Structure 1
Amino acid sequence: MTEYTVITDAAGLADAVGKLSEGSGPVAVDVERASGFRYSQRAYLVQVFRRGSGVFLFDPPAVGEFATLQAAIGDEEWVLHAASQDLPSLRELGLEPVTMFDTELAARLLGHARVGLGAVVEDTLGITLAKAHSASDWSTRPLPQSWLEYAALDVEHLVDVRDALVAELAEQGKTEYAAEEFRAVLERTPKPPREDPWRRLSGLHTVRGRKALAVARELWTAREDYAREQDVAPGRLVPDRALVAALIADPKTKQELAQVREFTGRASRSQLDRWWAAFEAGRAATDLPLERAPGGESIPPARAWPDRNPEADARLKLARPAVEALAEELNIPTENLLTPDLLRRVAWNPPEPVSAASVGESLAELGARPWQIAQTAQLIADAFVQSVQSEVPAPESPS
């Protein structure tokens, strides 16, 4: 059985910080949230392991502040799995690495067929981890012992996994690729808030009419506000399908809304006044939303390119298989070599004149890393040039 210490107060934090300071090498860090149960993405458990120190399970709601832990381990290399998922929750606690190693991202760059934590541990160390509690409600208190043991195992082997992947990266000549990817994850700025987030409502495509969309917007906002207030995942209050069912039913009174059988969820009736107020606000709205969301800077889907921009379509049809073939040769998933979105954008709006250097500059502006540009820019430029040449009609033979 894994040995671990649960930290729930200032005295325990001080003891853990002292032991972690005396440890050696990288620090393995993991986070457990309550996604699907709570509205927030806050951390409800932070697991930390360091050789010579042991495993510590910190209870953030009980501990409160982590400045001393950050001071003790902040300058060390942190080892995380799928770091982009955990970093926002850690940053909320004032915990942030200066450098890190992402075992999930490294496994992707190495071409591992499976990149989940359990699979990577098994593939590198031959140890099988049970994933029984990955989707549990980690805001539960007290946490069951079996959950704590599972959480401890998530970090106990992570530094050993890191060492195995470091050797594998060196063997495949991908050490710098990984370093650039890790830096990009750490330096990535949060995405701006989505415009019209209510349009994410699952099943909204079945709702017709701008008036009905105005009601959908108000219903989504009312549920979001109540979910935030209660710190409960919105779908646990009233599922998306229930909101859409109510919209399609188009009730004329609050009583009719209550009689919509598909309008389900634990808050569907207890908060009936709230939902009916949203119906009334939406129907009274004068700023009716468009049937389709504004396109902004997005480019059309590739299937529309032959009609909308045949030159771009020709560029993409030559560049995409070339990039895919290179990805296979390098044993890297195509989306990690170069995301399809970046390739589409540079194909839609190529630099002039086309060259490896100009394509590389365009890719850099779009956020591609230096190693990705070094591998793909020439390939893409060649494909773009070839697309133009293929459009030039061959000279007629002399009669």
Structure 2
Amino acid sequence: MAEHGVVETRDAYFEAIETLAGGTGPIGIDAERASGFTYSQRAYLIQIYRRDAGTFLFDPPAIGDFSELNESLRDAEWILHAASQDLACLREVGLDPVNMFDTELAARLLGLPRVGLGTVVEELLGIHLAKEHSAANWSTRPLPEAWLVYAALDVELLPDLRDRMVEMLVESEKTQIAAEEFAAVLARETKAPRVDPWRRLSGVHSIRGQRNLAVARELWIARDALAQHLDVSPGRLVPDASLVAAARVMPESRQALADLREFSGRASRSELDRWWAAIQAGMSSPDLPALKASSDTLPPPRAWAERNPEADVRFKAARAALASVSDELAIPLENLLTPDFLRRVAWSPPESVSADSIGSALADLGARAWQVAATAQLIADAFVEVHQSICLPSESDS
């Protein structure tokens, strides 16, 4: 392979497998998508580096299935930065690590102030890593040489970065914590598809009336189908603001839609018949959506004081207690315990509050063993103290 050439044939792919299998130590791996440009979140470039083997840049659309590479490297530790962002597209082509080290997550657990790859590499290795192509359209073919150089550097430094972080995790006695967190990322299930995904339209909250919402829904469905067919990011066809504007105004004719100044975007006029048909479908649909989606999402904490005062006091007391532990461990509060977990136990605590019952509730939500050990007792103590302060009469009342 040329210095920054791309592996894009099956023959070259099998040669790369053989070379990588002869390398030593863990592998650095990364994937480049075309988020914001394409509909799919597939990988358009996969980079792998291994000591004594070198760097390989693979073209996933050209190669197809990577199961042979996955099997060859199955026993190696895979190093990724922010693995949760790349695992889905890697698994889509057959690359699924068993043993992983996440340098972004490790940076969080080590309490580093900034966790982007460039800043972490600079702080721990003293090397400046330019990130000017991170938001590029990686579906471009052929890929510019400068992009390939950038992509190669992203993985070539990962083994050295991992080694330094392992030392730091040992020094800070966080090796087991990191292992539990890495395992949790690998085991995390893919989120189920959203019910009514059209409700994610930016600005949909400004639409009043069920009929208007039905029009917004049909416009979203029409745009999504076209975006998927063209493999183009939906917002590049017609932005959310345009769909919302049309749903609010409810144009009475195709021409009225064409004249609507707020209805813009590169496909707003070339696909005008499609959008008008969607509006007509929404106007005549017997299936009118509810004004508000059903959800198990809790109210935002700022509304708790009015809606559930005791939960508000519990949440604030427990959060303050956890903040002190966060400072002591030099682990961000959101990594010490997922914020939603604390909100849920504060909103609906176990009937009998104790470290064991709080710990069980947290574990059921998905908290790791180390998180339960570090937080359950503190949360339980805070809840009990709040309950006593509310229920016990003060001396002036007696």
Q: 1:28-107 residue pairs with structure 2 within 5 A? A: 28-107=28-107
Q: Which moved more, 1:387-396 or 1:218-227?
A: 387-396
SS in 2 for 1:298: coil
From the superposition, tell whether residues 397 and 230 of structure 1 become closer, same or farther in structure 2 (CA, over 3 Å): closer
Matched, 1:270 2:260: no
Q: How far apart, CA to CA, are the structure 2 residues paired with 1:177 and 1:11?
A: 42
Give the gaps of 5 or more residues in structure 1: none
Q: Which moved more, 1:351-360 or 1:31-40?
A: 351-360
User: For the Cα contact (< 8 Å) 2:4–2:145, is it kept in 1?
Assistant: no
Deviates more, 1:59-68 or 1:306-315: 306-315
Q: Which residue does 2:256 correspond to in 1?
A: 256
The offset of 1:315, in angstroms, is 1.2
Counterpart of 1:318?
317
Q: Distance in 2 between matches of 1:46 and 1:253?
A: 48
Provide Cα deviations, 1:45-79, integer angstroms capped at 9, x if missing partner.
00000000000000011112212211211221100
The alpha-carbon deviation at position 303 of structure 1 amounts to: 2.6
Contact 1:79 1:159 in 2 (8 A): yes
CA distance in 2, matches of 1:64, 1:75: 22
1:190 is aligned to 190
Matches within 5 A, 1:229-244: 229-244=229-244
Query: Aligned ranges for residues 136-285 of structure 1 at < 5 Å?
Result: 136-285=136-285
SS at match of 1:160: helix
Preserved contact between residue 78 and residue 100 of structure 1 (Cα < 8 Å): yes
- The separation in 2 between residues aligned to 1:4 and 1:339, in whole angstroms, is 41
1:203-248 deviations in Å (ceiling 9; x for gaps): 1122111110000000001100110011100000001111122223
What is the Cα deviation at residue 395 of structure 1? 4.4
Q: TM-score, normalised by structure 1?
A: 0.97
Q: Is the Cα contact below 8 Å between 1:80 and 1:102 reproduced in 2?
A: yes
Amino acid paired to 1:353: S
Amino acid at match of 1:322: A
Question: Residues 87-132 of structure 1, C-alpha deviation per residue, up to 9 Å, x if partnerless?
Answer: 0000000011001000000000111111011111111100011111
**Which AA in structure 2 matches 1:122?**
E
Structure 2's unaligned 5+ residue stretches are: none
1:344-388 superposed Cα distances (whole Å, 9 cap, x missing partner):
101111113211111100000000000000000010010011001
Q: Distance in 1 between matches of 2:245 and 2:348?
A: 42
The whole-number CA distance in structure 1 between the counterparts of 2:215 and 2:248 is: 11
Matched length:
396
Contact 2:31–2:47 (CA<8 Å) still a contact in 1?
A: yes
Whether the 8 Å contact between 1:314 and 1:387 is mirrored in structure 2 is yes
Q: Which residue of 2 aligns with 1:355?
A: 354
Q: Compute the TM-score of the two structures, normalised by the length of structure 2.
A: 0.97
Aligned-partner Cα distance in 2 for 1:396–1:86: 60
Counterpart CA distance in 2 for 1:58 and 1:337 is: 37
d(CA) in 1 for partners of 2:396 and 2:130?
Answer: 69
Retained in 1: the 8 A contact 2:26–2:78? yes
CA–CA separation in structure 1 for the residues paired with 2:137 and 2:269: 24
On the 8 A contact 1:28/1:155 being kept in 2, the answer is yes
Q: Secondary structure at the match of 1:68?
A: helix
Match of 2:8 in 1: 8
SS at match of 1:48: strand
Which residue number corresponds to residue 122 of structure 1? 122
Return the letter of the residue paired with 2:115: V
Tell me the residue number matched to 1:299: 298
1:25–1:283 Cα change, 3 Å: same
Conservation of the 8 A alpha-carbon contact between 1:238 and 1:267: yes
Q: 1:6: how far off?
A: 2.0
Contact 1:74 1:95 in 2 (8 A): no
- d(CA) in 1 for partners of 2:235 and 2:345? 38
Give how far 1:396 is off: 5.6
What is the identity, as a one-letter code, of the residue corresponding to 1:240?
Answer: D
Aligned 8 A contact 1:4 1:54 in 2: no
- Work out the CA distance in 1 between the residues paired with 2:76 and 2:351: 45
CA distance in 2, matches of 1:155, 1:124: 15
The Cα RMSD (Å) is 1.4
Q: Percent identity?
A: 61
